[in-house]
């Protein structure tokens, strides 16, 4: 692997997951990519207490009514509650989203899916994000929404290492 010290290479006995952990250590917990394997975190401004993208000059969640907006646009706009109520037992339901952002749509979707879907059904949530939030920024954003504490903790506790590629997070 280019740029990796010889004593860290997997063929020298160090397991790959330990190599990634060493590479992913940063001097600041919110710093962006410091390795060719790392993804770049969203560069955020916190004016008025809400996260906004410095690069894209756009807010991620409005200061007032972000959860209501998510429910109205994402859940109700796609008629998800009715669709979940009509799922057969042991069914799987897949949602796709472009732009994970702070993950509010994901958290609301998980919460509502558990309320309205049959037992033993499974939610698959596929999302794509070029500049994900750092763990700290995600926690800061989620802290404004106590009704999502349970789902937020599970998400944050299961965030993958800061490495490029496809990541699968399982939440119960």
Residue 13: per-residue pLDDT: 58
Q: How many CB atoms lie within 10 A of CB 154?
A: 15
Q: What is the pTM of this model?
A: 0.76
Residue 3: per-residue pLDDT: 41
CA angle, 158 as apex, 35 and 112 as ends, to 5°?
130
Residue 10: per-residue pLDDT: 45
Residue 103: per-residue pLDDT: 93
In sequence order, what DSSP letters do the residues of 77-104 get, joined into one string?
A: TTTHHHHHHTPPTT-EEEEEEE--TTSH
The pLDDT profile of the chain, 172 residues, written as one tens digit per residue, is 334 444 444 455 556 555 555 545 543 444 444 556 678 889 999 988 889 999 989 888 877 889 999 999 999 999 999 999 999 999 999 999 999 999 999 999 999 999 999 989 999 999 988 889 999 999 999 999 999 999 999 999 888 777 777 777 776 6
Q: What is the CA radius of gyration of the chain?
A: 18
């Amino acid at each position: 692997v280019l740029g990796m010290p010889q004593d860290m290479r997997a063929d020298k006995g160090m397991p790959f997951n330990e190599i990634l952990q060493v590479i992913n250590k940063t001097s600041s917990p919110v710093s962006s990519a410091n390795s060719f394997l790392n993804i770049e975190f969203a560069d955020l401004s916190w004016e008025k207490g809400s996260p906004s993208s410095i690069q894209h000059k756009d807010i991620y969640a409005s200061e007032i009514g972000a959860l209501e907006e998510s429910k109205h646009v994402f859940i109700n706009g796609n008629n998800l509650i009715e669709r979940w109520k009509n799922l057969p037992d042991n069914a799987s339901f897949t949602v796709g989203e472009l732009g994970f952002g702070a993950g509010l749509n994901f958290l609301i979707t998980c919460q509502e899916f558990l309320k309205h879907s049959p037992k033993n059904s499974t939610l698959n949530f596929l999302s794509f994000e070029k500049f994900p939030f750092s763990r700290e920024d995600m926690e800061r954003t989620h802290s404004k929404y106590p009704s999502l504490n349970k789902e937020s903790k599970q998400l944050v506790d299961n965030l993958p290492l800061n490495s490029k590629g496809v990541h699968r997070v399982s939440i119960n």
